[in-house]
Amino acid sequence: GKLVYSEGLLVGYRGYDRSGTDPLFGFGHGLGYTQWEYESIEAAATSIGSGDDLDLLVKLRNRGARAGREVVQVYLEGPDDDPSRPVRILAGFANVAAEPGAQVTARLSVPSRAFARYDEGLGRWDAEPGAYTIRAGRSSRDLRVSVEVVMR
């Protein structure tokens, strides 16, 4: 048999983002017993080459009255607004835990492949030069901090 995938890249949260549709729960949505404040996101470099991975630090604080765990999600937005491409893609995630009032740092690495797309004409993966926005938050619809990185 033959299985044909015809929906392309705009499936699930990617399709909702592109069409501007608000789902009841964003991709990655979860529940917990505490509240989290995302304080900052820091990139190890402001400019990277096409084969470079990018290390990130996301600082957040448990503002609730209970200890808690959080899955920090990082999404990548490309330099163009090609309607056939997703607005943003999940580029990484990390699990953290903290006591009430404590600050914690999530350490993540965005692989170089996350910046690239497959170019059928060239027959290889290629990263488009330009400014990329990296956003971190609780889900695809709850992104709280961002940083910009330039692909050379």
The mean pLDDT value for 64-69 works out to 98
> Within a domain: residue 25?
yes
Give the number of other CB atoms < 10 A from CB of residue 56: 22
Residue 117 maps to which CATH number?
2.60.40.10
Per the structure, the count of domains in the chain is: 1
Q: Is the model's pLDDT at 6 over the cut of 90?
A: no
Q: Which domain holds residue 25?
A: 13-151
Rg, C-alpha atoms of the chain:
17
With respect to residue 3, please indicate whether it lies within any of the assigned structural domains: no
Cα distances from 105 to residues 3, 35, 55, 142, in angstroms, run 43, 16, 13, 18
How high does pLDDT run on average in the chain? 96
Place of tokens 């990617």: 14
Q: Which long-range contacts (CB under 8 A, 24 or more apart) does 123-130 make?
A: 126/50, 127/50, 127/151, 128/78, 128/79, 128/80, 129/79, 130/78, 130/79, 130/80
What pLDDT, on the 0 to 100 scale, is given for residue 80? 87
Residue 7 has pLDDT above 90, yes or no: no
105 assigned to some structural domain: yes
